[in-house]
């Protein structure tokens, strides 16, 4: 799987890595049971700090996307076992509200925003 990190992006690198791995799980580029590169190898491959990779892996573990073993082996979990729990729903609501406020301030109307959301949702 090709992971793209933009060093100039305002989004922290660990969050970019987290998002790329989740996208890979959704699209099937990462299969359940697949072992990800070690923290060290991922860091070397992406030319980023090992602590950044470790942080992303640990967040993904806490969210249920990965299993981590003592050997620092990260394995992809089956996404069908995940659910939209209260924590996720609360986080999603805050993010949607933030984006909606900015979109509305920039002149987007409800239909434009909903169309964009539907297109992105249908893309995956």
Residue 43 near residue 50, CB atoms below 8 Å: yes
Give the residue-averaged pLDDT of 78-102: 90
Give the residue-averaged pLDDT of 49-71: 94
How far is 123 from 85, CA to CA, in rounded Å?
Answer: 23
- The pTM assigned to this predicted structure is 0.84
Give the residue-averaged pLDDT of 5-18: 97
Considering the chain, what percentage of its residues have pLDDT values greater than 70?
A: 99
pLDDT exceeds 80 at position 26: yes
pLDDT exceeds 80 at position 72: no
Three-state DSSP class for residue 96 = helix
Angle (CA) 114 23 59, round 5°: 110
pLDDT exceeds 80 at position 71: no
């Amino acid at each position: 799987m090709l992971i793209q990190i933009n060093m100039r992006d305002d989004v922290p690198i660990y969050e970019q890595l987290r998002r790329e791995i989740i996208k890979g799980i959704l699209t099937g580029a990462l299969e359940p049971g697949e072992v990800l590169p070690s923290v060290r190898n991922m860091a070397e491959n992406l030319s980023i700090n090992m602590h950044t990779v470790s942080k992303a892996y640990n967040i993904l573990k806490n969210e249920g996307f990965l299993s981590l073993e003592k050997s620092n082996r990260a394995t992809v979990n089956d996404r069908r076992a995940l659910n939209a729990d209260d924590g996720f729903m609360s986080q999603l609501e805050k993010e949607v509200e933030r984006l909606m406020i900015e979109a509305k301030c920039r002149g987007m109307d409800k239909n434009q925003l909903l169309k964009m959301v539907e297109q992105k949702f249908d893309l995956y």
